[in-house]
């Protein structure tokens, strides 16, 4: 059985492109429709009710593309809106928090796991809850890193300013005994090299992106919903904010994958969202 409908992936901005890249790499037959809410990024400092409303608006928009699955590729939105979206959709809806939690549980030897994320994600306690729901013996150290998302949205991945911000944000966490650190925001994999440099070689970094792609694969395959092997997928990208910056970051980040696959830079129809491209 083949299901050619796209996988809808949404994020507050460019962070969800880390999930897109892994889905393109691990499941190159699958078609993606992506929405980055770059006009309203970051979601991290916003009240939960507002994030729920934004997420709901984007899902309502993406539903028009008849997706076979919805992926909330934003930790903040997963933390506060996953259950809400699940309740109003007929297709499988997955977030990025449980995949990261599962990976950490699989990797940790010491049982001491660190989590970094936006204020919204850390304050929600969603990672601690997921980790302890699966394995109550895990000890969790959490740290909000509000400085990281703006750096990524500006494409500022590897500067001395970025290194200083990462060192400052992770100072407390470094004093703990963690052996695994969940990058609990889909923007953070853009900063992997800097975070690895600061945390040192004994701490394994866990990207939600890789794990989420693997769980998308698990759910589509076990439910008989993979795409056909004979069709080259055409991906679509939408953003709500300034189009050129989004397109530049997306092309830079997805480079290797994107050259092998046709891409449409889509024109969103929500409200007054500006045109891409």
Residue tagged 């306690």 (tokens): 125
The answer on whether 186 is annotated among ligand-binding residues is yes
Q: List alpha helices for the chain, DSSP H.
A: 17-26, 48-62, 75-88, 97-107, 119-124, 126-134, 148-153, 160-174, 192-199, 208-222, 243-253, 255-258
Are the C-beta atoms of 149 and 178 separated by less than 8 Å? no
DSSP one-letter string for 124-174: HTHHHHHHHHH-TT-EEEEEE-TTHHHHHHTT--SSHHHHHHHHHHHHHHH
Burial of 174 (0-12, 13-18, 19+ CB in 10 A): middle
The answer on whether 11 is annotated among ligand-binding residues is yes
The yes-or-no answer on residue 185 being catalytic is: yes
Of the pair 175, 222, the CB lying nearest a copy of itself is at 222
Catalytic residue, candidates 89, 145, 185, 238: 185
The answer on whether 187 is annotated among ligand-binding residues is yes
Are the C-beta atoms of 256 and 52 separated by less than 8 Å? no
In the complex, the residues that contact a copy of itself under the rule CB under 8 A are 22, 26-29, 92, 94, 98-99, 102-103, 105-106, 132-137, 210, 213-215, 217-219, 221-222, 226, 229
- Min CB(3)–a copy of itself separation in Å: 13
Cα separation, 16 vs 66, whole angstroms: 20
The yes-or-no answer on residue 88 being catalytic is: no
Of the pair 64, 110, the CB lying nearest a copy of itself is at 110
Catalytic residue, candidates 74, 145, 238, 239: 74
- Min CB(194)–a copy of itself separation in Å: 21
Of the pair 46, 68, the CB lying nearest a copy of itself is at 68
Of the pair 60, 83, the CB lying nearest a copy of itself is at 83
The answer on whether 111 is annotated among ligand-binding residues is no
- Catalytic sites, residue numbers: 74, 185
Q: Binding site: what residues are annotated? A: 11-12, 43-44, 75-76, 186-187
Q: Binding site for substrate: what residues are annotated? A: 11-12, 43-44, 75-76, 186-187
């Amino acid at each position: 059985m083949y299901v050619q409908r796209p996988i809808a992936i949404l994020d507050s901005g460019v962070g969800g492109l880390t999930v897109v890249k892994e889905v393109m790499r691990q499941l190159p037959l699958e078609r993606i429709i992506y929405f980055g809410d770059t006009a309203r990024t970051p979601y991290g400092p916003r009240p939960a009710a507002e994030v729920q409303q934004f997420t709901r608006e984007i899902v309502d928009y993406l539903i028009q593309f008849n997706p076979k699955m919805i992926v909330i590729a934003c930790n903040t939105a997963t933390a506060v809106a996953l259950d809400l979206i699940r309740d109003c959709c007929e297709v499988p809806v997955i977030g990025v928090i449980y995949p990261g939690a599962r990976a950490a549980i699989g990797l940790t030897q010491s049982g001491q796991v660190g989590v970094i994320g936006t204020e919204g994600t850390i304050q929600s306690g969603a990672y601690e809850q997921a980790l302890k729901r699966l394995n109550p013996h895990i000890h969790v150290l959490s740290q909000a890193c509000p400085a990281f998302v703006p750096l990524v949205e500006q494409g500022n991945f590897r500067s001395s300013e970025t290194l200083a911000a990462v060192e400052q944000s992770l100072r407390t966490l470094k004093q703990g005994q963690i052996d695994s650190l969940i990058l609990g925001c889909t923007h953070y994999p853009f900063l992997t090299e800097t975070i690895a440099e600061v945390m040192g070689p004994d701490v394994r970094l866990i990207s939600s992106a890789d794990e989420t792609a693997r769980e998308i694969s698990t759910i589509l395959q076990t439910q008989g919903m993979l795409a056909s092997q004979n069709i080259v997928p055409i991906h679509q990208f939408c953003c709500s904010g300034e189009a050129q910056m989004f397109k530049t970051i997306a092309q830079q980040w997805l480079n290797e994958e994107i050259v092998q696959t046709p891409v449409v830079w889509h024109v969103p129809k929500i409200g007054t969202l500006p045109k891409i491209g």
